[in-house]
Amino acid sequence: LNVSSPEAMEKAITTLKGVIDKIKAENPKAVRISGATAASEVTATPNGADAQLRKAMGLS
């Protein structure tokens, strides 16, 4: 979730919990949510094609 305030974060979490609880109530099988990861800072690969492209564009 990308939110700008603690209040917005609480509202988003509450909404997600409500949706997940509804899905669990409607589906007797176990619900598994995968693919979520914690937020992290995006860094460019130093020797990758992205870095070479950025250098060619004068962005690095």
pLDDT in tens, 6-59: 898 899 899 999 998 888 888 777 767 777 777 666 665 556 677 777 788 787
Q: What distance in Å separates the CA atoms of residue 31 and residue 24, rounded to the nearest whole number?
A: 7
pTM of the model: 0.44
Q: Is the pLDDT score of 5 beyond 60?
A: yes
Lookup result for tokens 């700008």: 4
Question: How many CB atoms are located within 10 Å of the residue 35 CB?
Answer: 4
Q: What distance in Å separates the CA atoms of residue 46 and residue 50, rounded to the nearest whole number?
A: 8
Q: What are phi and psi of 44, to 5 degrees?
A: -80, 150
Res 18: pLDDT: 92
